[in-house]
A = this chain, B = another copy of it.
C-alpha cells in the first residue's frame, strides 16, 4: 500500500508545490454559467471540474473547504462529494479541509465519514484543541488505507496570536507543544521520504520563525496556507520547505478568481473555459515563483 503522504511528496517533485484550494463560492463563478438554468450547487461542481481538468499538471494536490459547500445545504454537500470523487478519479490527491477535533468515539465516526464512503478524501485537516485522543483514532486509517492528515499547528490568520502563540510555563509556545506531539506521531508512522502520515498546518505569514520551525519539525510535512490573499509570498513559503519538498502551499481565491482580474472579464462574458485557463495560469505562475524562491535559497 502506498501511503498518501509519500504520493504527495512525489507529486511535489513532479509538479511543484501548489495546492489548489477549491473554496468555490457561487460568486466566484462566471455569471454566464449561472444563467444556464443549473442549480448553484451544480454550477459549483461544473466550475470545479473545469478547474481541476485545467490544473492537473501544475497542482500537487487540491484542498476542498467544506464550509463553502455546507453553505448550499444538502445540494452543496452533493457537489462536495462530487468534487472529491472527480479529483480522485483523475488520479490526483485531495485534502478535505474539515478541521475536525472531537472525543475519541466521535473521531472514529468522523474518520469513517471522511476516509470512506460518499466523502472519501486522501487527507483531512484536524484541530488539536481537545488533545491527542482526538487525533489518534484517525491514525488507524493511515495504517490500513494509507490516509493522511494535517493538524492545525500555527495558522495564518491574525487570531493565531490569541491562543496558538501563548507562551507555556513548560517552555515554548502552544503551537510548539502541538508540533512536538505531532512529531512523535510522525516518527512512529514515517514513510519512505522521511515524513509521517500526519503533518501540520503552518502558515507562511510569519517569516522570522519559519527557519526554526522547519528545522525543528523535520519529520512533518506542512500544509502551508496564507499565500496570496492572506499576505504570504513565495519566499515566505520557501522558508517552510526542506530540500525543495516537505510542504504544499495552498492558494484559493487567487486561483479561483483569477478570471476576474483584468477588470472587464465580467462584461466580456468569461465562462468556465476562460476561468479554467486563468486558474491554470495563476497556478503555474505561483508554482514557478515558489520554485524560484527555493532555488534562490540554495
B-contacting residues of A (Cβ < 8 Å)? 23, 25, 65, 67-68, 70-74, 76-78, 81, 99-104, 106-107, 109-110, 112-114, 117-119, 127-134, 152, 155-164, 166-170, 174, 177-178, 181, 230
* Chain A interface SS verdict (over half): helix
- Each complex incorporates copies of this chain amounting to 2
Q: Which among B70, B78, B103 is the interface contact of A113 at CB below 8 angstroms?
A: B70
Contact residue among B114, B117, B128, B158 (Cβ-Cβ distance under 8 Å from A129): B128
Bound complex: CA A53 to CA B119 (Å): 32
Which of A70, A76, A161 has the largest count of B CB atoms less than 10 A from its CB? A70
Contact among B74, B113, B181 for A67, CB-based, below 8 A: B113
Q: Give CA–CA (A113, B68) in the complex, Å.
A: 8
User: What is the distance, in angstroms, from A21's C-beta to the closest C-beta of chain B?
Assistant: 11
Contact B74 A162 (CB under 8 A): no
- The residue of chain B having its C-beta at the shortest distance from the C-beta of A171 within the complex is B169
Choose from B114, B157, B170 the contact partner of A134 (Cβ within 8 Å): B157
A–B pairs, 25, beta carbons within 8 Å: A25-B109, A65-B102, A67-B106, A67-B107, A68-B106, A71-B110, A71-B117, A74-B77, A101-B101, A101-B127, A127-B127, A127-B130, A130-B155, A130-B157, A130-B163, A130-B164, A131-B155, A133-B158, A133-B162, A162-B181, A163-B178, A166-B174, A166-B177, A167-B170, A174-B174
Q: How far is the CA of A107 from the CA of B66 in the complex (A)?
A: 11
Q: CA separation between A104 and B23, bound complex, in Å?
A: 13
